[in-house]
Structure 1
Amino acid sequence: MAMVLPKLKPYHRIATLLLSSTIILCLYFENSGKLFNNNHRVSEIDACVYRNCSPDQERTDWFSARYAPTVQLLLNSRNRALRPDVWRWWRGLQKELYFHNYTTVSRKLFPLFPDKNNYSDSHPNRGRTCAVVGNSGNLLGSHYGPLIDSKDFVMRINKGPTKGFEVDVGSNTTHRIFYPESAMDLDNSTHLVFFPFKILDIEWLISAFTTKDINETYTYVPSTIKANKDKVMILHPEFMKYVYKNWTENHGRYPSTGFLTVIFALHICDEVHVFGFGATKDGNWHHYFDQTLTPVASESHAGDYEYKTIIRLHRENKLLMYKGWT
């Protein structure tokens, strides 16, 4: 015999509905500040809601004072002439030994590499998601791999490997950021995003795809690399100076490749997810692929200041910072 439930009066039904809604809302707000992956909490700060990570959403005074939406991102034939202030700053990074004629060298670039105004397709409904993957040991045991690979762009920095670490760092790479001293071979589908800290770096890039006769800067560098020359992009020195002045506020001599990549991602992505930055849970700074301890700051970079700025960007809901195994 089927059980017959008592029929609720209208005001009882309303009370029940309100109670259910309250429970659902409580559960939502309890968990909205936490992001989990394989049951590991990855952030102790409120997670940004999709689209609110965009630099164009709810901009604060702190962010607005630093973010310049019209800064030149990448070199092309139309913007390769440098403003005097940019030239003086960039020239100041280079020793006389490495000084060459920039105008002559830069003219050789765009018959060889794509001459495009990359990432000028900003649109409120674009929804491009990006993972910036640093090399911190805090990635070990994180199981972030699937989350990283799910993003539209996956940017890896210098020589950070994926083979053997796929569970924690993923396997997909759409953009590889490096300079001559950190160069490596790429597959045919990966964008080579080149960061030139000196004119000799640009000469090396040209040589690596043509004459292959440069194998030394201030140290040994490979004379050539495997990479798709049609996917080469070169960071503009104006962007490097902008990051140094606006974001690191003149700390260090120039920004690190990792920090430059984070700010670059803020300019081309609608949602930025940052992995593999900062110390391990034991407070050590080392790469996930070796145990050699690295200083948080160096003669050239203000690593501690850069890290604090990334955390501030997280708090401002401009990116989402994943802190690894906690």
Structure 2
Amino acid sequence: MKKILTATALLLSGTALAHAEGVLQLYNWGNYTSPALLEKFKAETGITVTVTDYDSNDAALAKVEAGGSGFDLVVPSANYVPIWVEKGLIVPLDASKLANKGNIAPEWQDVPWDKGRAYTIPWQWGSTGVAVNTKVYGGDINTSAVFLDVPPELVGKINVVPEMNDVVNLAIWYVGGEPCTEDTEVLKKARDVLLAAKPNWLSMDYGATEKLSNNDWAASVNWNGSTMRARTANPDVKYGYPKEGYPLFMDSVALLADAQNVEEAYKFLDFIMVPENAAMISDFARYANGIAGSDAFMPEDMKTAPEVMTPEEFKASGHFLPTCSPKAQEYMTAIWTELQK
């Protein structure tokens, strides 16, 4: 997931773009698409890919649901895929047009959110935890207390990415609950801990890769790949896996029901399942991908990176977020709305 807005986003009008041979419109998380990958794709196919950025699952869903977006492909997170399917916004994929579908790693071929990979192709996967400048704070970083019970050293120096599902569920785990709970007592505890912590935060913003690198922030709720990129620039930055529980995510590419450039989209979907190309995606954003054989092409520093290769002691605390019931989603939205005030 994951996800920092960049200036590369193309601003599109609200009307649907007409089909134009040799072009493709990709709607993806910000700072998440390898320019080198797109250059290679164009060199091999003649197709130019235009990327438009979004900063949250909810923003992407609302934009496409409003109609006339002009996009062909979108990259929702695992727990949102069933929502896109239910709303009829994405369509089943024609496997006969995807010669490389067998390259999907066995563990990602049949996933709870998309049985048999009927609708999506893996893009990248990772986790949401906390990134901390250990020169500023030397205590335990493998806990959500870093942002929910802020240590004195980090007061006024910590950022929280404005991603509702990640932040609220981290708080729910912290108070002993489970994601998508409808238990109002647990939800009240999560709300209270978030509201009590917020005065100790510096900001709720994106841009952690740069701002952790530059020491503008001493800590942030953040994604693992972004944190690795920050650590590469600033060795004092370390990634913490909250022991109370932390989200895992997989973002996958889906074909929109109103896509105009369908054949071009299928060529791109097949292209990203080539192991060498999947490794290019990971090399840029620093997240693992779901394509078997891509490890052989991965940069050496990713093969041992603690942000990518989760230490054994923290694996049990990571969980994929389920798709919440409408009531649970309503409760989370209410907490989030109050937190934004």
Length-normalised TM-score, structure 2? 0.26
Q: Which is richer in strand?
A: 2
Length-normalised TM-score, structure 1? 0.27
